[in-house]
Structure formats: structure tokens, C-alpha cells
Structure 1
Amino acid sequence: MNRPATLSQALLGIPSLQRQIALVVFGSLLVAMSAQISVPMFPVPMTLQTLAISLIGLTYGARLAAVTLAAYLAQGAIGLPFFAGGAAGLPYMMGPTGGFLIGFVAMAWLTGWLVERGLDRGFLRLFVAAFVPALLLFVPGVLWLWAITPLSLEGAFIAGALPFQLGGVVKSAVAALIVAGGWQALRRHQG
């Protein structure tokens, strides 16, 4: 018997379309709420979005996590105040944080993909599954920032990546602890 690769599969089994839609709506709202917990920094604010995205990837798997973040971006693009500081719309998405916003989909997918490939149990494995995609998020984020601002590549890295590294480690550890705790609680409940 195959064991479920994700916590949501373990809890819900093979989810119906209605459950998948509910998970996407819940996840997109979670990311939107985490965007509002923000430390205003210029040009890229520090938020809890990457923590929420890690949790979604660790619990949903690759496809459902990517769909959830694509839905989040679509909701923000049509004008819902889902981005940092209640921002919304396509002009905001084309601004300094655009590379990060687009990278969120890839981050969610890669986190879920790593979980589906065996990094689904235990703190250390879950930490790696959360941290590596969160670290790779800085590639499109910094390159986009470099492309649309007068900053040099080094300046874009200093402004758009360097201040976020410690927070990335902490958020990945918190996500791994939460999901590892979820697996432990499920095992206890199942006896």
C-alpha cells in the first residue's frame, strides 16, 4: 500500500474537485493574509508570504500548490487587495516585487515536488523541502529587480535578497516544524 506523500492527502484522501477548490481558496487567502503582515522595506517588503507558501507546498504537493499560487496572483491581478500592504492590480505586479510574485508559483510547485519525491517526513527533510525553493525564489526576484530599477546586479542582490536570508531560514524551520507536528498528530490520532 502506498503511503500518501502529502499531509493533505493523508488527511483528506484523494480530494474531490470541491475539496481541491476549497484548498485552493483557503491557500490563496492564507497567502493574502500573510502578505498583510509586513515590514515595510524598499523596494521589497518583508512579509510572511514565503512561510505560507512553504506550508502550502509542504502540505498540498506540487500541482495543487502551484494552482493555489496562480489563483492568488490572479486574484491580486483582478484587483483584490491581496499583495503586501493591500496592494492589487497588474501595475503592482509589474513593479519591483514582480519577480518574487511570479516566482511564488515556482516556489510552491518545487516545494510540493520535493515532498512528493520523499522529503515529506521529519523536520530535516521538510526543512530542506521548504528552504531550497525559498532560496531559489531570489533568482527571479533579484533578476527582475535588477531589470526594472537602476540598481546594479549587486545592488539588487543587496536590496532584494541579503536582508531576507535569516528570515528565510527561520520561516523554513517554522514551516517544517508545523508540518512535522501535523504528521505526528495524525499518527497519534490513527493509533
Structure 2
Amino acid sequence: MTLSKALVPSNSIVARAAMVLGGTAVLATASQISVPMFPVPMTLQTLAVLAIGMTFGSRLGLVTVAAWLAEAFAGLPVLANGGSTASFFGPTAGFLLGFLMMVAIAGAAADRGIKSMIGLTLVGLVASVALYVPGLAYPAAVMGKTMPELVSGWMAPFLVGDAVKAVLAALLVSGGWSVLAKR
């Protein structure tokens, strides 16, 4: 059972749709909290994606992140620095696709009942690393960047922040389980 099902046991379409809309709102808000960096700002997007996956599970998590990406593709200002449809064709497009991998990995852990701080942190770290697979592959293919260039400029500056966000997501979700257990 996922944390979202424990908190909202209803399987109604209305309840699930509300959760997806709430999740996209959290993602949109987290996207606007940023520190300017190149090639992408360091935002709380990854924290939100991890928390959504760890809370909702893989299926609802994927639907939520896909809905957020659809909102962005439709031109809504839900990505970092507002973003736009052009973000799906620029050098950072691979990271947008990587968010789907990230939420699927975090969600699979939730589906398997991982609730501990350590377990969720490890899953968050793995999911964070998985984000870089399409995130770096896309600019390598489109811009002809070399892997050393991409690792040093597009990955290394974000690793510490991503590790901290993985720990924070694990703290939030394992804390949610702890509070629920005390009821």
C-alpha cells in the first residue's frame, strides 16, 4: 500500500484526479523555487518528483508527472523559469523525459512497500542517477557534446543537491508513514 492510498483510501476517479492535480500544482510550485545554474537551474523539481513517486506509487506518479509535462507542453508556465513548449526540443529535453523514469523508480519502491528512511533514500539516489541517463544522452545526441563535458558541466554541479533532495524526499515520506502509524 502506498502512502497516498493509506491517507485517501478512495479509488474514485474524482479522488485520483484531485491527487493528480494537486501533484502537478506541487511540481509547478517546486519548479519555480530555483537557484540559477547552467544548463538548467537547480530547482526543487526533483524533490517533488521523488516525493510524488514515493507517495503515489508508480502508476499514479507517472500519470501525475505526465500530466505536469502535458501542462508544460500546452504552454502553461509550470517548468523552471516558466519554461515553454520549446523546452521539449531544447538541450534539456532529456531531463524532462528523465522525470518519468525518476517517478517510476520511486513509485515502484512505494508499490513494493518500502517505507524506511534508509530504503527510501537509497531509492531516491538511484532514481536521481537514472534522471541523468536521458538527461545527458539527449544533449550528447543533439548538440554533439562529449560525455566528459556533460558529466562535468551538466551533472557534477547538481549531484550534491540531488543527494540532499533524495534524503529530504525520504524524510518527508517516511515521516508521513511514522505519523500515520501513531494514529
Q: TM-score range by the shorter chain?
A: over 0.9
Choose which of 141, 150, 163 in structure 2 pairs with 1:156. 150
Q: Does 1:99 align with 2:106?
A: no
Choose which of 17, 22, 25 in structure 1 pairs with 2:21. 25
Partner residue of 1:62? 58
Q: Does 1:10 align with 2:20?
A: no
Partner residue of 1:141? 135
Q: Check whether the contact 1:143–1:156 (CA below 8 A) recurs between aligned residues.
A: no
Alignment of 1:22-61 (within 5 A): 22-61=18-57
Number of aligned positions between the proteins: 183
Please give the alpha-carbon distance, in whole angstroms, between the structure 2 residues aligned to 1:162 and 1:101.
18
Alignment of 1:66-81 (within 5 A): 66-81=62-77
> Shift of residue 38 of structure 1?
1.3
Q: Which whole-Å deviations, capped at 9, do the CAs of 1:73-128 have from their partners, x for residues lacking one?
A: 10000110111101221x22111210000111121111111221232x11101112
Q: Check whether the contact 2:32–2:81 (CA below 8 A) recurs between aligned residues.
A: yes
Q: TM-score, normalised by structure 2?
A: 0.95
Choose which of 139, 156, 161 in structure 2 pairs with 1:167. 161
Q: TM-score, normalised by structure 1?
A: 0.92
Q: Which whole-Å deviations, capped at 9, do the CAs of 1:17-52 have from their partners, x for residues lacking one?
A: 111101111111111111111112121221110000
Q: Does 1:188 align with 2:182?
A: yes
> Shift of residue 150 of structure 1?
4.3
Please give the alpha-carbon distance, in whole angstroms, between the structure 2 residues aligned to 1:150 and 1:39.
27
Q: Which runs of no fewer than 5 residues in structure 1 stay unpaired? A: none
Partner residue of 2:124? 130
Q: Check whether the contact 2:27–2:45 (CA below 8 A) recurs between aligned residues.
A: yes
Please give the alpha-carbon distance, in whole angstroms, between the structure 2 residues aligned to 1:94 and 1:157.
21
Please give the alpha-carbon distance, in whole angstroms, between the structure 1 residues aligned to 2:127 and 2:37.
22
Please give the alpha-carbon distance, in whole angstroms, between the structure 2 residues aligned to 1:19 and 1:131.
30
